[in-house]
């Protein structure tokens, strides 16, 4: 009985005390007017103020990047940005798969210098000498990191031996040439064989 009286008394006391204390909710970390400042730091008193505020904080659209690739060669599986190279690229692409044939320069068969001379004659109207070694004597020497589409790349087996192979540079270390095994094809200057035998690059003026 005594226990019941004590519990009842405590309950009454707690109810009475609750009237003397106000529960204050925790303050938000973000001020109530933050949303307004997200739009503008000054007062908005008219419709014009609102329009000006929205224009001020209108998200800036990033400029779209310029068209990097002008066209794509499906046969070469490469994209080219320089439209001046279109004729060259489209012409060499038609030679892909032509078998290697020493001393010839037609789509029925061609060697490396025959292929290059035929392309330069058809695309640029330039008659190059018939051998890769002779072509090397005609070109302006350029650095490897300055290669552009249409430049020539030359190969030799050792410093004491003459140039024995030539190809036409495309892009991204890729060049097209007529190989003894495979005929007209696209290869990379990074391939071990061509990396080892690469000699120089040249530009036909």
Q: SS3 for the chain, per residue? A: CHHHHHHHHHHHHHHHHHCCCCCCCCCCCCCCCHHHHHHCCCCCCCHHHHHHHHHHCCCCCCCCCCCCCCEEECCCCEEECCHHHHHHHHHHHCCCCCCECCCCEECCEECHHHHHHHHHHHHHCCCCCCCHHHHHHHCEEECHHHCCCCCEEEECCCCCCCCCEEEEEEECCEEEEEECCCEEEEEECCCHHHHHHEEEEEECC
Active site residue 165: yes
Long-range CB contacts (within 8 A, 24+) of 191-197: 194/155, 197/155, 197/156, 197/157, 197/165
Which is catalytic among the residues 78, 89, 92, 112? 112
User: 184 near 95, Cβ under 8 Å?
Assistant: yes
Catalytic annotation, pick one of 118, 120, 168, 177: 177
Residue 133 designated active-site: no
Catalytic residue among 152, 163, 165, 202: 165
Annotated catalytic residue 80: no
Q: Which residues are catalytic?
A: 112, 165, 177
């Amino acid at each position: 009985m005594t226990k019941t009286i004590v519990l009842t008394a405590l309950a009454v006391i707690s109810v009475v005390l609750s009237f003397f204390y106000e529960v204050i909710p925790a303050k938000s970390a973000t001020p109530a007017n933050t949303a307004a400042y997200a739009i503008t730091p000054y007062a908005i008193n008219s419709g014009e103020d609102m329009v000006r505020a929205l224009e001020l904080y209108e998200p800036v659209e990033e400029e779209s990047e310029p068209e990097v690739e002008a066209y794509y060669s499906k046969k070469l599986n490469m994209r080219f940005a320089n439209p001046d190279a279109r004729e060259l690229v489209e012409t060499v692409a038609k030679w892909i798969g032509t078998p290697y044939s020493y001393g010839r320069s037609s789509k029925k068969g061609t060697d490396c210098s025959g292929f290059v001379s035929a392309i330069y004659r058809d695309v640029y109207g330039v008659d190059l000498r018939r051998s890769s070694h002779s072509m090397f004597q005609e070109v302006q020497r350029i650095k490897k990191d300055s290669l552009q589409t249409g430049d020539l790349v030359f190969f030799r087996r050792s410093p004491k031996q003459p140039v024995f192979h030539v190809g036409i540079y495309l892009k991204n270390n890729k060049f097209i040439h007529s190989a003894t095994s495979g005929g007209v094809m696209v290869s990379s200057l990074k391939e071990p064989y061509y990396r080892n035998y690469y000699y120089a690059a040249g530009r036909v003026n």
